Structure formats: C-alpha cells, structure tokens
Amino acid sequence: MLDDVPNIFEAVFQCTLEMITKNFEDYPEHRLKFFSLLRAIATFCFPALIKLPSQQLKLVMDSIIWAFRHTERNIAETGLNLLLEMLKNFQ
C-alpha cells in the first residue's frame, strides 16, 4: 500500500477537501469517511505520509485541525484520534 497512497491522495484528497472545507454542514458522511481514511493511512501506512511532498503533508495536518475543530462530535472525535495517532507515529 505504501506505493498506492500517493495515487489515492491524488484521486481523492484534494477534491474531497474542497467539498468539505466550504462549510461545516454539507457532506457529513464524506467528512467522516475522509477522516477515517486519513486515520487508517496514518495507522497502517505512516511511512507513505512521510514520503508525501511537504505541501501535501501540510494539507494533511491542516485537515486534522479542521476535523477536531468540527462542530459534529463524531467528526471532532475522529480528528482527535487521528491527531493522537499522528503524534505517536512522529514520536
């Protein structure tokens, strides 16, 4: 999967991010699945995240911040768990 993560990001990340950052209400199911995908990648394919270009990695980190600031509890909780996973991996 390490070689596939950049392709997944190219196909899904930017377009989904554009959809969900317009406001905090539209596409709640996309938001939850998007952040769940990020968490799975952070958990099982962390080396692939490190290999991303710095601009894409910054977008990942910005996305995590947007997630845990979200008004819906399940999305905010997913974001906090994702942040914890990222911090453990960076450690």
Between the two ends of the chain, the Cα-to-Cα distance in Å is: 22
How confident is the model at residue 4, as a pLDDT?
87
How confident is the model at residue 72, as a pLDDT?
86
How confident is the model at residue 83, as a pLDDT?
93
Low-confidence ranges of the chain (pLDDT < 70): none
How confident is the model at residue 18, as a pLDDT?
82
Residue 61 tokens, joined: 């980190």
The DSSP string of 9-67 is IIIIIHHHHHHHTS-SSS-HHHHHHHHHHHHHHHHH-HHHHHHS-HHHHHHHHHHHHHH
Count of domains forming the chain: 1
Which residue segment(s) compose the domain that 64 sits in?
4-90
Tokens 């390490």 locate to 2
State the pTM of this model: 0.81
